[in-house]
Amino acid sequence: MTGHDMTGSLLVQFLAQGVQMTLVLLISPLAVGVVRRVKAVLMRRQGAPLLQAYRDLVKLVRKEAIVAESASWLFRTAPYLIFALTWVAAALVPSFASGLMFNWAADVVALVALLGAARALLALAGMDVGTSFGGIGSSREMMIATLAEPAMMLIVLTLAIAAGTTRLAGVADFFIAQPFAVRVSMALSLIALLIVALAENARIPVDNPITHLELTMVHEAMVLEYSGRHLALIESASHLKLVLYFSLLVCLFAPFGMAPAAAGLAGWLVGLLAWIAKIMLCAALLGVWEVSIAKMRVFRLPDFLGIAFVFGFIAILLAFLSRGVLA
């Protein structure tokens, strides 16, 4: 992109953003499939085929959506809104290139807000029908959210101190330009972000995505009343959220290979391949992680998420100290 031909450049930029948008949607069930596949192989189970998540979505879309008698309009509109919000958020995180059209909007604070709105809708929808499970799920989800979000904001601020911006593309560009270095504050924010990501995506040890055991489920309890295309949308949104967090981790802590703003088509292709490889690696690692530990009691979650907060806080203190801001 030389910038001589503005309209062509704009069009290409627009197309690239569109490619990223469709890409996250298309790849997300595959990432979930990889997680499940890795878990199945490690547990020596037969397991579902790699593409089962796609088949599930197609099956759900074809099926009739059954809505409870007591459900209000909120119950019916929530899945669409949740899906839309999560998709926008996932499409904003820079994946293969940092100079895309809507990168100015890919601000971490905006991401947190989009995901928070989606979560609030889901919690409301969970309580809408009036079943007790939905209520339990919503209350637990909100508890986890109130614990995870402060930690997330601390991580964001740490990165903002280091890179001087909260725009993801700017942070990624900053870290690509830097020589490789291990910084304590970055390492701590990485751990904190991993914990937040596990909590936000309802993975073990915070929540188990494969059980429907009433005592432990959080995310599943909220979506228990959904069926058909509504459920498909919500499932797809949770797949998107997983890819979003993978992308976020990769973009912030391993942006190697991502095409810089001025890269041409070849750079984008390299970035694309690198991104897909990194997402699949993340999915495989998540699978290994999930088989190696057990789910925590709900009452221990504040402690677990407290670690994320503590690490975020130490990270920000260290970032301040090494910059001498306090002096």
Partner 1 sequence: MNGYDISHLLAGAMLVTSFALLYQDRIAAVLNAFAMQSITLALAVAWAAWSDDRPDLYITALIALALKGIVIPLALHRTVERLGIHHSVEKVVGVGVALMVGLALTGLAQALVVKVASGTASHAREQLALALAIVLLGFLMMIVRRNAVTQVVGFMSMENGLILAATGARGMPLVVEVSVAFSVLIALFVFAVFVFRIRERFDTVDIEALDRMRGDSR
User: What 3-state DSSP class applies to 78?
Assistant: helix
For the bound state, the minimum distance from the C-beta of residue 181 to partner 1, rounded and expressed in Å, comes to: 5
Interface with partner 1, residue 130, by CB under 8 A? no
For the bound state, the minimum distance from the C-beta of residue 148 to partner 1, rounded and expressed in Å, comes to: 15
Stretch binding partner 1 (CB under 8 A), from 69-77, 120-128, 233-241, 311-319: 311-319
For the bound state, the minimum distance from the C-beta of residue 317 to partner 1, rounded and expressed in Å, comes to: 5
Hey, what are 116's tokens? Answer: 């928070």
Is the CB of 91 or the CB of 156 nearer to partner 1? 156
What is the C-alpha to C-alpha distance for residues 310 and 327, in angstroms, rounded to an integer?
A: 23
Nearest to 203 by CA among 21, 20, 38, 48: 38
* 24: amino acid identity, one letter: V
Interface with partner 1, residue 71, by CB under 8 A? no
What is the C-alpha to C-alpha distance for residues 62 and 81, in angstroms, rounded to an integer?
A: 20
Is the CB of 79 or the CB of 312 nearer to partner 1? 312
Is the CB of 33 or the CB of 312 nearer to partner 1? 312
For the bound state, the minimum distance from the C-beta of residue 272 to partner 1, rounded and expressed in Å, comes to: 28
Nearest to 194 by CA among 275, 124, 293, 126: 293
The residue to which tokens 């701590």 are assigned: 188
Per-residue contact track with partner 1, 175 to 204, x per CB under 8 A? ----xxxxxxx-xx----------------
Interface with partner 1, residue 324, by CB under 8 A? yes
Is the CB of 6 or the CB of 181 nearer to partner 1? 181
For the bound state, the minimum distance from the C-beta of residue 315 to partner 1, rounded and expressed in Å, comes to: 9
For the bound state, the minimum distance from the C-beta of residue 188 to partner 1, rounded and expressed in Å, comes to: 7
Site size for partner 1, by CB under 8 A?
25
For the bound state, the minimum distance from the C-beta of residue 183 to partner 1, rounded and expressed in Å, comes to: 7
Stretch binding partner 1 (CB under 8 A), from 72-80, 198-206, 227-235, 314-322: 314-322
Dihedral sign (CA 310, 304, 308, 134): negative
User: What 3-state DSSP class applies to 182?
Assistant: coil
Q: Are 20 and 95 in contact (CB under 8 A)?
A: yes
For the bound state, the minimum distance from the C-beta of residue 174 to partner 1, rounded and expressed in Å, comes to: 17
Is the CB of 22 or the CB of 178 nearer to partner 1? 178
Interactions with partner 1, residue window 276-305 (CB under 8 A):
302-303
Contacts to partner 1 by CB under 8 A: 179-185, 187-188, 302-303, 306-307, 310-311, 313-314, 317-318, 320-322, 324, 326-327
